[in-house]
Structure 1
């Protein structure tokens, strides 16, 4: 017999064993539940005096309304007979109390209405729930049906019978059934059903454990030994081969895992180096606002802010520094995600002109409050589409505009956003009239943590991550990003995005 045939035979044998272990107990469970359900049906019919016609199948066990409605069927028929033969009994409190006590055993009570008012009410605890519905409902419901009443938290079912009293007055007799009760036989059925399910589950588990112990233990132990070697750093450990076993595929997967683990370890070491760099830089950035917050808070505690004006200034400063810290933490978190490739990109086609118009309009009002005019020009057709992650490109624009705002040192600032069609792609330019960047610094502005200010405590602040994030996002979009600047006149940052047709052509190739 060839190895492949032997492997197929072993796999088939193992699969059949597991099927038998799982299917046989389930079949036994179905048989036990069927017999148990029919037994409970017979018991309920006898206890609650319900005919086979009213309870035709085991599904009726789950219909509480059907059971309770059928429970009082013959009582309603008896009332019908009394109404025809001897209606005066409905004015006899002794008879009514006796009948009401009997109905209470069936989770129901009796109510009598004469001339629009109650002359007898068997359970005043439920009066507020049902009295309105009983008074306005029509008479003469059949013994098989009833009408719902009550409130959201408590429901009832009632049957109402019209009666002409001996003195000629019109009246009604109602049987009201509480639908919120738990029937003992139903509880017994559920408990029994749960017990059988537990027994069958135990049988399945015991069978599978027994099979697994004798047929899977050795390969598992070998995998455990291999895992120990890997945990101790021995990524070159080889598993002994198992001929004709369904574990061959698992062993190959284990070898693949070892290879990927080596690659992951190397990547993790690079990530650790990046994390150390991030922590070192960001801790320095957080120190300045934390020091300011601590100083102003101590000033408030020591009573230095003695006037309302000074107190307001201290609180506003603390709030401003806290906002700065939140921005730094957000930039750090996003930077870490995008550089470690745990941030998902959701690309979709969008109309370029509409997207950038919407993006810019969301920023203009905020910039006006800072005396910065935001201008927008678009030379792209309305039908031109680009495939982008909208949120990521919005972040690119926001980071570039935010960076420009920090370095505009004029009473009247200006930022121009221009979108142009360049044939196979669109080009976006964001130009400001800030102080500009020196030529010697321009090649480094897209590196992480780089800032043109010589002092990390400069007035402009920032994390030095905004443009680095923008570049990483553009790399993921297959676009370019670069900058041009002149000291004293301002800076222009450009980036490109491919059109949807170009994306499709590249994909086809």
Structure 2
């Protein structure tokens, strides 16, 4: 339920429920009063009392609009009596506590009761004369000679009519009490449905502020509050991922510094050794000096290549290098890459063969320069770690329903099953080949292929070599 509907229902409940309870109690009061009094109480009884009071008010107004002396005239007295006769009322007129007209034979005691009732303003109890209860409406007059007088308008009431005031009080009190109680209950339920989720959300936010990102936030409450909880939960998850990523980057940074320091130390140490050999006169012939200088140049180039690979990997890892994709014929592209690498492969005594298993020409979206770096890195690895006198490198091209598969298979010493899952991690190399390369070649290749929305993995064939598999989506 959304918050708007809950508000509407809460406001409607505070009115509808008290009204229903009041109606039920009113019906119960009718029933019980009827059973106790021995007769049914009808709506007509209460309607009759309202009519009586209306008639009394009309009579009072008629008298006040005339001079007080008019009440002593027989014609006016008869008019008042006829007006009250419709509701079985009686008329009593006194002057200086002396009865000057009475439509019924009332005793002096009865008249005294009426006078007493008239003097007690605000009293609503009826005056009982014999077996009849009268409601008394008193109009005070001042005659011309200054004598005080009163006009008593008397209307007989049965028990049900006399209890109207009590019944109305009961109805009013019932409605007020049920209205207050319903408001308390509805307000409590409404506030609990809002405050409880907000309290839990506040507690979760406090935990997050203290660095506890493992406490999940449950969606509860109305739709709007559930949406708020859901957004907070997404924020918590992203913040947790961000913290974990930051910690991972920190660990990677430490590993990066450690690894690059180790890798730089070897060529730097070699350079220092050869420079000292030249300075100390160990390279005492021109040929020996030239050989020392060539070694120093080679080690410097290794350091330069290592730094370039490191910078490239860092930029790829931070997505700072944009890709320039072009629609490319994959067969033609691979042939060009092999032609550029052919001299180096021949120097390493590696025989290359290309096998195209495609049924028709296929195109992919490539950043030609970046993907060329991938192919070159893989071929370079094959050359560095080739353990046989006559090496072989096969490039196989085939396709599936949605992708193209490029397999680069060599016949080198292979990769152990324990090393296979980690060869695309940066700086990961087996101990036997620790000194070769920067350890970033395959890591850079993986970053570039993933930038093409592709996938790369390795398959070991034991002592028969290794296959590097590249999967790219068809254009």
TM-score normalized by structure 1? Answer: 0.44
TM-score normalized by structure 2? Answer: 0.47
